Structure 1
Amino acid sequence: MGFFSRKTSKQTSRVKKLLKLALARLATARRPRLARKSISRGDVSQLLVLGHLERALQRSEQVIEEDNMLQAFDIVEFYCKLLIEHAAQLDKPQECGEEIREAAAGIMFAARWCGDLPELPLARTIPADKFGNDVVVAAKEGSGIVGPMLVWKLSGDKTNMELKKKVTKEVAADSNILVDFSELQEEAEHDDNGNSSHC
C-alpha cells in the first residue's frame, strides 16, 4: 500500500512540475499570437480603407483565431494554477470537487489543441489515469465536465459570418471607418439571381 501512495505522490509532483513549466511557457506563447492579432487587425483596417470589404471579412478570421487562442490561454492558465494549488487533491480523485475535475478535464482537452504548450500532452496522462474513463471521454469530446468556453475558444467555428462582421465592425470603429454590410447582401442576392459576380 505504501508503494502506491508513493507512486501517486510522485505522479502528483510530476503534474505540478509540468504545469509550472506550461505556465512559464504561456508568456512566451502569447507574444507571437498578440503580434499576429495586431498585424491582422491592421490588415483588416487597411483593406477597409481600400474598400475591400469581403477581403477584410476573410482577414478577420485570423483576428478571431488569435483572439480565441489568447483567451483559451487565459483559461488554461487559470486551470494550471488551480491544479498546482490543489495538487494534493489529485491523490484522492474521488474526493475532488467539480472545479478540480473541470480543471483536469480542461487541461486534457486543451492538450490536443495547444501545440504551443508541449507540456500539456505530457501532463494530461496523469489526471487521465487518476480520474478514469468518464472524464477522459468527456475531455476527448469536449463535453460534460469540460468548460464550454474553453471548448468554443479552441474548436469553435472561426468562419462564422456574424462573428467576422462583429470583429470587422470593431476594427472599423477603432479606425473611424464606416462599414456597410448591405453591399455584401446585395451582391449575394445578385449572385443568387444567376448573374455573374466580379472579383
Structure 2
Amino acid sequence: MGRKLDALLGRKFKTSKLKTTVNLAISRLSLLKNNRLARVTITISDVIQLLRLNHHQQALLQIEQVIKDQNMLDVYDMIHTYCYLLIQMINLVDQVNECPKELEDAVSNLLYAAPRCGEFPELQKIRVILTRRFGKEFANDASELRRNCGVSQKMIQKLSPAQSTLECRMKMLTGIAKENGVILQLEISSSEIRKEKVMEKKKFGKKISFFKSKKYKDATQDAFEAEAYVSAAAKTSTELTRSESFASDDSDSDSNGNELCYSAKDYNTLEVQQVNVRK
C-alpha cells in the first residue's frame, strides 16, 4: 500500500534516509553491546561468588541469564553484519520495487529482529522504511516466519524466549567452575538431563498435534511452523541417545555443536564472535 500511495502521489523513495538510519543503528549497536557485555560480566562474577560459597543450585539458576545475554550479543553481531550489507548494496533498494535476491536474507532478518529488540529504536525505524518500500506482505512473511521467508534458523534460535536446556546450563557452569578452580557439588546426573529431554520431546509432540488438528486461516504459515517443531523434536530425539557426566568434563568446547552453550574461556575474555551471513 505504501508503494502504491507513493506512486500515485509521485513521491520517490529516498535511499539517503534509509542509509542514515542504518548508520545510526550501527552506532547504537556499540552502546547496546557494551551495556550487555557489562551485564554478562556482573552476572558471571555473581555466579563465581555463588560457587565459592557452595551455593551451586543458585549459581545454576543465574546461568540462564548469562545465556540469554550472550544470545542477544550474537543477535547484535548478526544485525551489525546485515546493516553493513544493506549499506553496501543500498543502490539495489532504489532500483527495484521488490526486495532484491541479494538482500533478501539481510532484509528478512532485520524485519524479524526489529519487534524482538524493543530497546533498539533505530531498528524499528529501519523496519518501517523497509516495510514501506517492499510492502506489508513481505514484512509480515518475515516477522511471522511464513514459508520461504528468508529468516535464518540461527536468528530464530537466538531470539527464542524458551529456556535453555539443563544440559546447556550444566555445560557452562562446569566450564566456569573449572576456569576458576571451583569443585562442583551439584547432584545432577545424566539421567536427569535425559529426563528433561524426554519432557521437551513430549512438549514438541503436543505442539505438533495442535498444528495437525486445528484449522488455520493461513495454511502456508502454519505448515512452516509445524515443520519447525517437527525438526526440533527430531533434534531432541537424537540427543536422547547421548549421555555424559558434566562434572568430569574437561573440555572447554561443546563437541555437540550446541549454539546456546559457550565455554567459560569465551565468557571470561568476553570475545563475541562475528556471525557469517548465510548466502
> Do both share a fold (TM > 0.5)?
yes
Q: What is the letter of the counterpart of residue 38 of structure 2?
A: A
Structure 1 residues 136-185: Cα deviation after superposition (integer angstroms, max 9, x where no partner): 2232124531111112112252342222112212211221223354x134
Residue 39 of structure 1: aligned partner: 42
Q: Quick check: 1:77 aligned with 2:76?
A: no
Percent of pairs with identical residues:
33
Q: 1:116 and 1:87, CA in 2 relative to 1: closer, same or farther beyond 3 A?
A: same
Say which structure is richer in helix: 1
TM-score (norm 2): 0.59
Residue 125 of structure 2: aligned partner: 122
Q: 1:172 and 1:93, CA in 2 relative to 1: closer, same or farther beyond 3 A?
A: farther
Residue 160 of structure 1: aligned partner: 165
Q: What is the CA-CA distance between 1:82 and the residue it aligns to?
A: 0.6
Contact 1:19–1:84 under 8 Å retained in 2: yes
Contact 1:142–1:151 under 8 Å retained in 2: no
Q: What is the letter of the counterpart of residue 34 of structure 1?
A: L
Q: What is the letter of the counterpart of residue 100 of structure 1?
A: L
Q: How many angstroms apart in 2 are the aligned matches of 1:158 and 1:170?
A: 19
Choose which of 142, 145, 166 in structure 2 pairs with 1:139: 142
Tell me how many residue pairs correspond in the alignment.
182
Structure 1 residues 24-78: Cα deviation after superposition (integer angstroms, max 9, x where no partner): 1111111111011011111111111222221111100111111111110000000
Q: 1:88 and 1:8, CA in 2 relative to 1: closer, same or farther beyond 3 A?
A: farther
Q: How many angstroms apart in 2 are the aligned matches of 1:125 and 1:137?
A: 12
Contact 2:13–2:133 under 8 Å retained in 1: no
TM-score (norm 1): 0.81
Residue 102 of structure 1: aligned partner: 105
Q: How many angstroms apart in 1 are the aligned matches of 2:64 and 2:173?
A: 10
Contact 1:90–1:127 under 8 Å retained in 2: no
Q: How many angstroms apart in 2 are the aligned matches of 1:8 and 1:149?
A: 35
Q: 1:48 and 1:88, CA in 2 relative to 1: closer, same or farther beyond 3 A?
A: same
Q: How many angstroms apart in 1 are the aligned matches of 2:185 and 2:19?
A: 51
Residue 200 of structure 2: aligned partner: none
Q: Secondary structure at the match of 2:159?
A: helix
Q: How many angstroms apart in 1 are the aligned matches of 2:91 and 2:26?
A: 19
Q: Secondary structure at the match of 2:116?
A: coil
User: Which shifted more, 121-130 or 79-88?
Assistant: 121-130
Q: Quick check: 1:18 aligned with 2:12?
A: no
Q: 1:154 and 1:132, CA in 2 relative to 1: closer, same or farther beyond 3 A?
A: same
Q: What is the letter of the counterpart of residue 69 of structure 1?
A: M
Equivalent runs, 1:175-190 vs 2, <5 Å: 175-181=180-186, 183-185=187-189
Contact 1:138–1:146 under 8 Å retained in 2: no
Q: What is the CA-CA distance between 1:134 and the residue it aligns to?
A: 4.6
Q: 1:117 and 1:60, CA in 2 relative to 1: closer, same or farther beyond 3 A?
A: same
Contact 1:23–1:80 under 8 Å retained in 2: yes
Q: How many angstroms apart in 1 are the aligned matches of 2:125 and 2:71?
A: 23
